[in-house]
């Protein structure tokens, strides 16, 4: 598809649509919107606009659609697959100034938010009301970006992902039409589910300008445990047994020994260097949670665990999970001069040990620096690789490893991305993952965005 580069006339027309301080073609601003947190190449937009309302966005989209100008949404730029990189240039809409929490309806367990609200800020406000919004990608992500990527995180095994928390959306379509979809009712069987079409569409079908999200009660008590196992198979079996037991962990994370060794070194911990589960439970009282921990320990010991370290109460849970939550940043910090690539795949639970085996054998065979961090309760694995910047030979090797891992995940009945989205990096797997249904996705894209102006160069292979 051929897109239009911005001319002086376009810039003049677009500039007139918003206040002067909310339109920029400044080089440093363009640079800041040229890359996300992935290792995909930079690509600069030609202009950045900070909209404040649906009607401003509608006017901008009408103009862009009429002139063939690409439009890419921007939340916090924390994506890991190049999702918000404006690969075809054009305009970036940065939602950081549309960050109002419009309404909290405690009795309905709902909040209306603008797309630029950062989920941690929403949770800070909600905690005084005993409520929270559970999806937790870790980085300071916006609700708009989380909706677009269908983000999830450590607590998804219990609470679900972003798609489970979106009730209603207002979106501006490519033509500029403002459309409301969904319902504030907590259940519905009414008509096609447009909400779940928009969630995970990475800003390629419409721009989210308002969302009604579902909230849940904040659990009064927390507990956690760190458990080491002699093998990934034994840890994988324990994951299955814990899930089957009805203990309902709120997080069930597995780290590879190399990740544990790094945490020991960088965070001054003394964990066994072995496959390690980080488990979290939410409950009503410490008494109840101490029984839950005892049961979890019984299961893990029966499964041959080497060590079970429990922690009761919020402070203990925070202490245990602190290093886990900071691991992404610890990896980056401890590899200066390296590019960090984080690939994300997911498989059915039964295939999880096989996937981990493939990952470890690939990392060893190719002698690359790789860490496995996984949301094991969901069969979701991240292989985080550090490779020297500019070393083409090494990066060719890394690309081959990633390709083998993703291909294996698909062979095992899984997906090329569990939570980071397709972005740029996973486009080449879409045909093999989706077969003929990819054509139906393409038809939907043409219906929603006939001129292809919304986040072009994403999701679909060229």
Ligand X SMILES: Cc1cc2nc3c(=O)[nH]c(=O)nc-3n(C[C@H](O)[C@H](O)[C@H](O)COP(=O)(O)OP(=O)(O)OC[C@H]3O[C@@H](n4cnc5c(N)ncnc54)[C@H](O)[C@@H]3O)c2cc1C
Stretch in the footprint of ligand X (CB under 6 A) among 23-31, 66-74, 218-226, 445-453: 66-74
- The yes or no reply on residue 340 touching ligand X (CB under 6 A) is no
Neighbours of 204 (CB within 10 A): 27
Shorter beta-carbon distance to ligand X: residue 95 or 222: 95
Q: Which stretch binds ligand X (CB under 6 A): 21-29, 200-208, 288-296, 404-412?
A: 200-208
DSSP 282: E
As a whole number of angstroms, the distance between CA 126 and CA 23 comes to: 33
Residue 375: is it exposed, middle or buried by C-beta count within 10 angstroms (0-12/13-18/19+)?
buried
Contact call for residues 445 and 460 (beta carbons, < 8 A): yes
Q: What is the closest distance, in whole angstroms, from the C-beta atom of residue 239 to ligand X in the complex?
A: 17
β-partners of residue 208 are: 171
- Residue 228 engages ligand X in binding (rule: CB under 6 A): no
Residue 201 or 223 with smaller CB distance to ligand X? 201
Between 148 and 262, CB nearer to ligand X = 148
Determine if 207 is a binding residue for ligand X (CB under 6 A). yes
- Of residues 4 and 120, the one with the C-beta less far from ligand X: 120
Q: How far is the CB of 48 from ligand X (least distance, A)?
A: 12
Q: 191 and 262 in contact (C-beta within 8 Å)?
A: no
Tokens 């103009």 correspond to what residue?
A: 63
In the bound state with ligand X, the residue whose beta carbon lies nearer, of 73 and 283, is: 73
Answer for which of 47, 69, 208, 300 binds ligand X (CB under 6 A) is: 208
Chain centroid offset of residue 162 CA? 9
**Distances from the Cα of 1 to the Cαs of 64, 68, 70, 174, in angstroms?**
14, 9, 11, 16
Smaller CB distance to ligand X: residue 90 or 283? 90
Q: Tell the smallest beta-carbon distance from residue 287 to ligand X (Å).
A: 31
DSSP SS3 for 448: helix
Residue matched to tokens 């691991």? 327
Under the binding rule (CB under 6 A), the answer on residue 83 touching ligand X is yes
Closest distance between ligand X and the C-beta of residue 295, in Å? 27
Per DSSP, the residues of 121-136 read HHHHHHHTTTEE----
Find the shortest distance in angstroms from Cβ 122 to ligand X: 12
Q: Which residue is nearest to ligand X (CB)?
A: 145
Options 73, 182, 275, 425; binder of ligand X; rule CB under 6 A: 73
* The one segment of 22-30, 40-48, 70-78, 307-315 that binds ligand X by CB under 6 A: 70-78
Of 368, 366, 372, 395, which is closest to residue 384 (Cα–Cα)?
Answer: 372
> Which among 295, 288, 315 has a CA at the least distance from the CA of 243?
295
CA separation for the pair 95, 142 (Å, rounded): 9
- Asked if 253 and 376 touch (Cβ cutoff 8 Å), the reply is yes
Residues ≥6 apart with Cβ < 8 Å to 278: 224, 225, 226, 251, 252, 253, 254, 255, 320, 321, 324
Q: Is 381 in the site for ligand X (CB under 6 A)?
A: no
Closer of 83 and 228 to ligand X (Cβ): 83
Per DSSP, the three-state class of 24 is: strand
User: Among residues 23, 50, 95, 395, which is the contact residue for ligand X, using CB under 6 A?
Assistant: 95
Q: Does 328 bind ligand X (CB under 6 A)?
A: yes
- Pick the piece of the chain touching ligand X (CB under 6 A) from 20-28, 74-82, 105-113, 270-278: 74-82
Strands 221-228, 307-312: parallel, antiparallel or unpaired by DSSP? Answer: antiparallel
Judged by beta carbon, residue 236 or residue 328, the one nearer ligand X is: 328
Smallest gap from Cβ 9 to ligand X, in A, equals: 26
- Which residue, among 337, 384, 392, 379, has the nearest Cα to 363 in the 3D structure? 384
**Given 203, 257, 414, 425, the residue binding ligand X (CB under 6 A):** 203
Residues 139 to 178 in contact with ligand X, rule: CB under 6 A? 139, 141-142, 144-146, 148-149, 151-153
- Contacts with ligand X in 232-291 (CB under 6 A)? none
Give which of 145, 149, 154, 144 is closest to 211, Cα–Cα.
Answer: 144
**In the bound complex, what is the minimum distance in angstroms from residue 458's beta carbon to ligand X?**
6
Distances (CA, A) of 209 to 116, 361, 422: 9, 45, 22
- Is 77 among the residues that bind ligand X (CB under 6 A)? yes
- Contacting residue, 65, 76, 212, 228, with ligand X by CB under 6 A: 76
Site string for ligand X, 112-141 (x = CB under 6 A): ---x---------------------xxx-x
CB atoms near residue 8 (< 10 Å) = 7
Please give the residue ranges that form the binding site for ligand X (CB under 6 A).
36-37, 72-80, 83-84, 95, 115, 137-139, 141-142, 144-146, 148-149, 151-153, 202-203, 207-208, 328, 419-420, 455
């Amino acid at each position: 598809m051929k897109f239009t580069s911005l001319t002086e006339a376009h810039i003049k027309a677009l500039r007139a649509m918003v206040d002067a301080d909310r339109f920029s073609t400044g080089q440093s601003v363009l640079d800041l919107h040229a890359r996300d947190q992935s290792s995909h190449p930079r690509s600069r937009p030609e202009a950045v606009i900070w909209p404040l309302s649906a009607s401003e966005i509608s006017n901008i989209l009408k103009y862009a659609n009429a002139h063939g100008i690409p439009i890419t949404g921007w939340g916090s730029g924390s994506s890991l697959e190049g999702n918000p990189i404006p690969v075809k240039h054009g305009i970036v809409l940065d939602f950081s100034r549309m960050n109002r929490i419009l309404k909290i309806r405690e009795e309905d367990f709902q909040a209306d938010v603008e797309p630029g609200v950062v989920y941690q800020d929403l949770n800070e406000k909600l905690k005084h009301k005993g409520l929270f919004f559970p999806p937790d990608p870790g980085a300071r992500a916006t609700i708009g970006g989380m909706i677009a990527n269908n983000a999830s995180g450590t607590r998804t095994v219990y609470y679900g992902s972003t798609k489970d928390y979106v009730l209603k959306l207002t979106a501006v379509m490519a033509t500029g039409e403002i459309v409301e979809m969904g319902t504030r009712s907590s259940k519905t069987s009414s008509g096609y589910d447009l909400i779940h079409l928009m969630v995970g569409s990475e800003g390629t079908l419409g721009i989210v300008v308002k969302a009604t999200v579902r909230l849940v009660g904040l659990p009064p008590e927390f507990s956690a445990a760190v458990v080491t196992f002699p093998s990934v198979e034994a840890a994988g079996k324990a994951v299955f047994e814990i899930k089957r037991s009805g203990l309902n962990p709120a997080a069930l994370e597995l780290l590879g020994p190399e990740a544990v060794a790094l945490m020991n070194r960088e965070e001054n911990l003394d964990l066994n260097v072995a496959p390690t589960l980080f488990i979290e439970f939410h409950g009503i009282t410490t008494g109840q949670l101490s029984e839950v921990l005892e049961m979890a320990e019984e299961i893990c010991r029966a499964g041959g665990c080497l060590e079970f370290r429990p922690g009761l109460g919020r402070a203990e849970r925070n202490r245990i999970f602190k290093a886990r939550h900071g691991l992404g940043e610890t990896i980056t910090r401890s590899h200066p001069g390296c590019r960090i690539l984080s690939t994300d795949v997911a498989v059915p639970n039964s295939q999880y040990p096989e996937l981990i085996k493939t990952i470890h054998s690939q990392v060893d065979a190719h002698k690359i620096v790789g860490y496995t961090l996984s949301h094991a309760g969901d069969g979701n694995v991240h292989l985080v690789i550090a490779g020297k910047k500019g070393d083409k030979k090494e990066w060719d090797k890394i690309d081959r490893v990633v390709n083998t891992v993703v291909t294996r995940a698909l062979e095992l009945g899984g997906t090329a991305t569990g939570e980071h989205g397709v972005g740029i990096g996973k486009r080449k797997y879409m045909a093999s993952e989706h077969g003929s249904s990819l054509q139906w996705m393409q038809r939907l894209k043409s219906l929603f965005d006939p001129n292809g102006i919304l986040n072009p160069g994403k999701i679909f292979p060229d």
